[in-house]
Structure 1
Amino acid sequence: MKRNPIDISLMSRFFLVLFALGAMVACTGPSNDNLDLADARFIVSPTLEIPFRETVAEVLTEEVEKRTSLKMGKSQNWEGATLIVLALQDDPEVYGVPLPVAEKRLKNEGYRILHGKHQGGDVLWVIGADPRGLLYGIGKLLRLAHMEEGRLRVPKDLDISSSPEYALRGHQFGYRNTANSWDAWSVEQFDQHFREQVLFGANSFENIPFQDPESSVHFKIDPREMEVRMSEICAKYDVDYWVWTPAPEDLSEDGAHEEGLRQQEAFYARCPKLNGVFVPGGDPGENHPSRLIPYLKDLSEVLKKYHPDAGIWVSLQGFDEEKTDYFFDYLKTTEPDWLKGLVNGPSSPPLEIERQRLPKKYQYRFYPDITHTVRCHYPVERWDQAFALTLGREPCNPQPEQYAKYFRRDVGYTDGFITYSDGSHDDVNKVIWSQLGWDSAQDLRQIVLEYCRFFFGREVAQEATEAIFALEDNWDGPILENGGIAETLALWQKLEEQYPALSDNWRWQQLVMRAYYDAYIKERLAYEKGLETKANAVLARAREIGAEQAMEEALEHLEKAQTELVAQDLKQKVFEYAEALFRSIGAQTSVPKYKARSAERGAVLDFIDHPLNNRWWLEDEFEKIKKLASEEEKLARLEFIRTYEFPGEGSFYDNVSSADAQHVISETDDAIDYLWENEGLSRKRLSTQLFQFSPVLVYDGLDAGSDYLIRVSGYGEALLRANGQRLKPTKYEKGFEQFKEFPLPKDLIKEGKLKITFDQPDEAHLNWRKQSRVTDVWLLKQ
């Protein structure tokens, strides 16, 4: 369960840090509790094939040197110095010395780390079940080790054996313009990043080939060359290389089938390593399986020519019931050998249904979206609209608790996962999934602690761990009720000041930037909400001063958001970190400044001053009011605007997807989706931009002797039920910011209780953007 940030005072955070520091001291302890490896040499088993033998040596020595400046020497001599020995469990011996006895064999990719002795000297064994397992063992060693300038230590008497729970643990890294940073990366950056992902347990990487070389101004090399370089990197680290390659969008077109095969074959031929080809059934594409299946079968034959052990995988994304039945009937009756497995992605049939219907001979892979915050697979829960409007769909989003919850809920149906990602902003989430894929029972704090220890250093790791969890707490519920946001910033500012050497670390940069961004939005939200309150107070005097003057004075208050600015020091820090991120990893946080692909792709700078009140809507409404024929009409409309969210004593209003809705107990699949129009610059009322498809609202303590009217705003249909009974409307408008009204029979609320629900209209044939939704609900006492 998520911690309530309101309950965590600065003092309680202080004691948490003290406790964590005490645990760190106990772990690292005095020197006699630790094995000193500062002068250690390492031995690599000669049974490891070249060049992988060189790879494991490079990984160990380079990662240690980066953090300690120690240059570890390689040896084949067991005499004298402390040794780190890298071996495989099937090695009978390493240069004449037998391996330690093991009670049981390691499973595939597993490892053992063991402190032992040889002729009185210390030996730290890192033993892999196979070559991959050896790398995972090195990864755990590096995450456990105490590394600082000139020092390398691990706890004495280590004896750790571990093997992965899930066979498939990977992430998508599409070298394309859509990603908010990767199109600016070099081969060397991808090599280092893939290495780091492996050290945290990943074994698969998925690219998205066939990108136009002219599609991004950031490309360091031609994407057709990067496709091959990524394959080579995967071969270097002995991990799997996948590609996401949609079929032609309409296979019924003449020549589409053949052209798709030709394009794929050219790629297969130039790719040195390829293990999996994932073809989404939809998103993109609307092909019926009767056309898609023959294409996939032919594609498998092309693939086998160049990569005999590679497999074809397909998803049923966007499939309706008829298409789904067709596909599974085909598998049941034909049991084709050309198909390796099924992928479940966003808009696929439910995991449990696919798992049940999939014949056992096929593998089942999950394709979860861990990169987006709204309009996505796993939207942020109880996210304040102010964050949705400004941070948008691809901000830095470390959410260990949310993603651990979804992992443990969903992944068990599958044989593993390759996550959907579109940039560097979800780096913490990738590590959470890789490590839970290794062991789903792991403690989240330990995972994040090892992340911080490895990337930021032992000294800062405990506090940085708390600070990352604090960033997730920032997003829990209404911003103005979240007292932890300022404390989170204070914690990151303290770390920022204490550890200036981390200012060039891109992971650090994006986390600190988020802390400043969140705090700035809270300051602006409080300020702009106050301005709208003052504007409404002016509108309350409209009959005294006249409609025209009331609108003019109200606008004077609202426009202070642009002329009398707040918290500009926080905003400036956001821009400084955005510049640093662009220089370090090419992160594109703005469309005009850094040439982001589009407004939705991480362009958080472009929305940092997006109105957080209804200023734009009011400006437009006032222009409409000025054109009304009479003063009375103008005054009536101004009064309606003023009381829109404040309907009076005994009445109630709910913005149904707002984090502070009082009577809404439901959440949709997109719990805080908002209307995306005009590239995110919608001028509609803020409540109109939020919706649920079928909200549920609950009221108690109503006056059973009074008449009530239920008013609904939204789009399309609203099939409303009150305490289970369908109500008939007296007004039924279907457009945005129009209204439906339903008189509420007194006999339905005899006990003062009311539950409002909405039946779903039959709109499966419509894109979700065209389907009916509810934005606002009023219960008006007459």
Structure 2
Amino acid sequence: MLKLLLCLLLVPFTNACSKKDSDILKFSKATLLISTTLEEQFRSTSKTILFEELHKRNGPKLEMGKNWENGTIIGLALQDDPDLFGEPLPEVQDMETMPAEAYRLVHIQKNGKDILWVIGADVRGILYGLGKLLRTAQIGNGQLQIARDTDFSESPKYAIRGHQFGYRNTANSWDSWTVEQFDQHFREQVLFGANSFENIPFQDPNSSVHFKVHPQKMEVELSKICNKYQADYWAWTPAPRDLTEKDAHKEGLAQQEAFYARCPRLDGVFVPGGDPGDNHPSDLMPYLQDLSEILKKHHPKAGIWVSLQGFEEEKAEYFFNYLEEHDPDWLTGLVYGPSSPPIALERQLLPKKYKHRFYPDITHTVRCHYPAANWDQAFALTLGREPCNPQPRHYAKLFNEDTQHTDGFITYSDGSHDDVNKVVWSQLGWNPNIDLNKTITEYCRFFFGSEVAETAAEGIFALEKNWEGPLSDNPTVQKTLALWQGLETGNPGLRDNWRWQQLIMRAYYDAYIQDRSAYEKKLESEAYEIFKAAPEMGAEKAMEKALAHMQKADNEPISQHLKNKVFEYAEALFHSVGAQTSVEKYNASGSERGAILDFIDHPLNNRWWLEDEFKKISLLKTEDEKLKRLEFLRTYEDPGSGSFYDNISSADAKHVTSKTDDAIDYLWENNGLSRKRLSTQLFQFSPTLAYYGLDPNSEYIIRVSGYGEALLRANGELLKPSKYEKGFEQFKEFPLPKELITDGKLNITFDKPDEDHLNWRQQSRITDVWILKQ
């Protein structure tokens, strides 16, 4: 099969600008000719797409035609068509038949006519060709402009390229959508190269106050939309949680069949092996076999897929032995999702007759499959798990690491906030080596217009840089805000565009958090200076004065103009796309579900923790005890000359050489309003640290805080503790033998305790490490 690459150059408008005017095809009206070999439904769909999308962008006027009498022609045809209303399709030297979903976009001039051909290997190919045209041409002022030497062909690398759109209350926007909104959104995803959409049926109609359509009706409407755009319709449908319960197997099948019967189109059913559910494959596989028979009755070409999420070794071994022994033809493929066995191992063990689909999480920032790397804690505490998160470079890297082991992907998404990421993944599914700058520029050209495309693309990449490394010394944040403020001021016509709204809101939010973080950390530092005077003024007076000083964060807040803009855009997003950025104000389903307004003023210093510590200190019996405790709090992160301290998962940790297992994860408790010390809310399970310049003639103690066990090794040697407390904000201490640091170097590692039987939330973790010179 021919791999059609960028064998012939398509010059998008960004390059066409540098060409001579005579090298650019410009037209303000054209005749659209569509091959009669296409089904009438698709002829109508392709016509509607082109007419409506050009109209939205103030493009040229089109007229339907059946002959070649008029001047400029846009011709839509299949590669196997012998001609289009008597005109032969353009030939390409030495080109083989295009593979499935491929397209060719080419301009030719013949007999004084300009002809812009969109030729598809199949009907999907025509849609993808239209998408490329709409993404790369300059459209506006009643015209369409594209380079005259345009001749571009492309076929996808991966056969499955899709996204999950669960119409359910936990999605932070989709539960408020209408059928028309889903129709437009699916169209846009297809025009950027997607071919699959996965719904989550069986939702309680009373589970969301935002539902405008009954979930069972929407299940069918989404199926119809997929059929309209020739996209595969998938369903994520867990098995009953315990198939060993009486009638669970039978009732699960009955519920599924009712759904299958309702849908006019269904191509794939994905049943997760876990998350949710804890069924053994000895119970799950017979259920899936019965499910496949029901599915084939209603949708003969649809396939059953399963994942091994949460499978320990015995379950995974049973599953692959089952495949080897039974060789089931009713199973289409295996889905790799979070908490599955390693993706490369799955592909290696999976017989070649079965397909392998990826289920990557592109929607979350923490406690997730792909956490935001080196994320500052200030963002983790405020933006949380589902903010607007455009990260094209981050996801391109991850895509190429993992997707290579699969036949494609349907991403896990839970809202409109990851819109940029969806487009990036769809385009990577066509070509893993795409130029990300061109892809993001196409995104901005399509949704925002040619005039702002390049600057807005720069702004998206800048938003990604906002999240890289310590927030305190990140100069990008204020530059990013200035860039988006300029776009905001200069383009009032885009103020109702939801994609525009959420990107600008992120710029304001990031800048506000940076200002607050610097301000509140300064207040805390100044409070510790007050502690120094505690012996003179008394412990109680010092605590009262320090607390009043830190409470200026609430009583004398800064940068309120930035905060007000965030709330302004949050309101606009609720009306434009149903984004639920607050539990109380917009009825978000939970604090982790995009409720960024509810945490925008979450403390970014330790004032809550210190308030609680002050209450404990006040209960101490003597002044001396109170002063000693205050001094301990003052020097918690500043142990003095010759000693070292690291907040393990802080973006500015100086000696930590490992990366956190789960972003800058933090202890999620009390719906995100934990009062524990900020460093206690960050952790790694098995961190590594490196130190240089220790004094080989001095005594040192290694102090560790965290939770549970800490099996510490110093330069490879397991140390014995002199103190071993296991609770939060308690301490373990390990004397460091001098003979281990004769060269002044120290590497610290931690053996992993035998805790695989525990949920990760109950497993041991490390939060703080000190090297204390005695």
The alignment's TM-score, normalised by the length of structure 1, stands at: 0.97
Distance in 1 (CA, whole Å) between partners of 2:491 and 2:20 is: 24
Q: Give the C-alpha shift of residue 101 in structure 1.
A: 1.5
- Write out aligned runs for 1:45-60 (5 A): 45-60=35-50
Q: What amino acid does structure 1 have at the position aligned with 2:176?
A: A
Q: Aligned equivalents of 1:728 and 1:24: distance in 2?
A: 65
Q: How many angstroms does 1:674 deviate by?
A: 0.7
* Residue in 2 that maps onto 1:241: 233
Check whether the contact 1:398–1:427 (CA below 8 A) recurs between aligned residues. yes
Q: Which residue of 2 aligns with 1:15?
A: none
Tell me how far apart the structure 2 counterparts of residues 145 and 69 of structure 1 sit (CA, whole Å).
10
Offset at 1:669? 2.4
1:529 matches 2:556? no
Where structure 1 has 5 or more consecutive residues not aligned to the other structure, the ranges are 1-21
> How many angstroms apart in 2 are the aligned matches of 1:746 and 1:149?
77
Question: Within the alignment, does 1:319 sit opposite 2:319 as a pair?
Answer: no
Partner of 1:287: 279
Cα drift, residue 37 of structure 1: 2.8
Correspondence for 1:78: 68
Structure 1's 402 and 188: CA in aligned 2 closer, same or farther, altered over 3 A? same
Matched, 1:146 2:138: yes
Matched residue, 1:19: none
> What is the rounded CA distance, in whole Å, between the counterparts of 2:476 and 2:229 in structure 1?
42
Identify the match of residue 110 of structure 2 among 110, 118, 122. Answer: 118
- Counterparts of 1:400 and 1:359 in 2: how far apart (Å)? 33
In the alignment, structure 1 residue 733 sits paired with structure 2 residue 707: no
1:159 counterpart = 2:151 = yes
Deviation by residue 1:472-525 (Cα, 9 ceiling, x = unmatched):
000000001101100000000011011111110000000000000000000000
Deviation at 1:30? Answer: 4.7
Partner in structure 2 of residue 356 of structure 1? 348
Aligned pairs for 1:22-421 (under 5 A) are 24=14, 26-27=16-17, 29-68=19-58, 70-102=60-92, 103-421=95-413
Q: CA separation in 1, counterparts of 2:333 and 2:59?
A: 46
- Residue 628 of structure 1 aligns to a residue whose secondary structure is coil
Q: What's the CA shift string for 1:415-448, capped at 9, x where partnerless?
A: 0000000000000000000000001111010100
Deviations 1:29-88 (A, max 9, x none): 453121123211110000001201100111111101110154311101101311000000
Distance in 2 between residues matched to 1:26 and 1:484, nearest whole Å: 31
1:634 partner SS: helix
CA contact (8 A) 1:28 1:155 kept: no
Say whether 1:608 aligns with 2:600: yes
Q: Which amino acid aligns with 2:81?
A: D
Residues 38 and 153 in structure 1, CA contact (< 8 A), matched pair in contact too: no
Amino acid of the structure 2 residue aligned with 1:213: P
The Cα shift of 1:538 comes to 0.7
1:390 touches 1:607 (CA, 8 Å); kept in 2? Answer: yes
1:24/1:99 Cα in 2 relative to 1: closer, same or farther (>3 Å)? closer
User: For residue 701 of structure 1, what is the aligned residue in structure 2?
Assistant: 693
Counterpart position of 1:760:
752
Q: CA deviation at 1:333?
A: 1.5
**What is the rounded CA distance, in whole Å, between the counterparts of 2:461 and 2:735 in structure 1?**
47
Output the amino acid matched with 1:590. S
Q: Does 1:426 align with 2:399?
A: no
Partner amino acid, structure 2, of 1:82: T
Deviation, structure 1 residue 23: 8.6
SS of 1:720's equivalent in the other structure is strand
Measured in 2, the distance between the counterparts of 1:708 and 1:241 equals 62
User: C-alpha displacement at 1:202, in angstroms?
Assistant: 0.1
Shift of residue 630 of structure 1?
A: 1.2
- Cα shift at 1:28: 6.3
| Deviation readout 1:677-730 (Å, 9 max, x if unpaired) | 000000000000000000000000110000000000000000000000000001
Structure 2 residue 558 is matched with structure 1 residue 566: yes
Structure 2: distance between partners of 1:195 and 1:540: 64
Deviation at 1:671, TM superposition (A): 2.8
Residue 286 of structure 2 aligns with an amino acid whose one-letter code is: P
* Letter aligned with residue 225 of structure 1: K
Supply the distance in 1 between the matched residues of 2:400 and 2:59 (Cα, whole angstroms).
40
- Indicate the RMSD between aligned Cα atoms, in angstroms: 1.0
**Aligned partner letter, 1:85:** G
> What is the match of residue 12 of structure 1?
none
Aligned partner of 1:556 in structure 2 is: 548
Do the aligned partners of residues 23 and 298 (structure 1) sit closer, same or farther apart at CA in structure 2, a change above 3 Å counting? Answer: closer
The answer (yes or no) to whether the contact 2:61–2:142 under 8 Å persists in 1 is: no
C-alpha spacing 1:65/1:30, structure 2 compared with 1 (3 Å): farther
Q: Percent identity?
A: 69
Deviations 1:157-211 (A, max 9, x none): 2110110010000000000000000001000000000000000000000000000
SS of the equivalent of 2:495 reads helix
Per-residue CA shift, 1:101-144, capped at 9, x if unaligned?
A: 13221110000011113322111110000000000000001111
Alpha-carbon shift at residue 644 of structure 1 (Å): 0.4
Q: Distance in 1 between matches of 2:394 and 2:343?
A: 19
User: SS of the residue aligned with 1:512?
Assistant: helix
| Offset at residue 26 of structure 1 (A) | 4.8
Unpaired stretches in structure 2, ≥5 consecutive residues = 1-11
CA distance in 1, matches of 2:308, 2:323: 13
Per-residue deviation at 1:543? 1.2
- AA aligned to 1:190 is F
Q: Distance between the aligned counterparts of 1:645 and 1:80, measured in 2?
A: 77
SS of match in other structure, 2:57: helix
Partners of 1:234 and 1:29 lie apart in 2 by: 40
Give runs of ≥4 in structure 1 deviating > 6 Å.
Answer: none
- In 1, the alpha carbon distance for the partners of 2:330 and 2:201 equals 22
Residue correspondence of structure 1 range 558-637 to structure 2 within 5 A? 558-637=550-629
What is the CA-CA distance between 1:620 and the residue it aligns to? 0.5
How many residue pairs get aligned? The number is 761
1:660 deviates by 0.3
The match for 1:446 is 438
Alpha-carbon deviations, 1:292-345, whole Å to 9, x = none?
Answer: 111111110110110010000000000000000000011111110010000000
Partner of 2:772: 780
**1:241 partner SS:** strand
Corresponding letter in the other structure for 1:93: D
TM-score (norm 2): 0.98
Q: Contact 2:28–2:61 at 8 Å: present in 1 too?
A: no
Secondary structure of 1:210's counterpart equals: coil
Moved more, 60-69 or 300-309: 60-69
Q: Deviations over 1:353-393 (max 9, x none)?
A: 00100000000000000000000001001100000000000
Residue number among 619, 635, 648 corresponding to 1:643 in the alignment: 635
Distance across 2 between alignment mates of 1:540 and 1:273:
72
Following the alignment from structure 1 to structure 2, what is the Cα–Cα distance between the partners of residues 74 and 130? 21
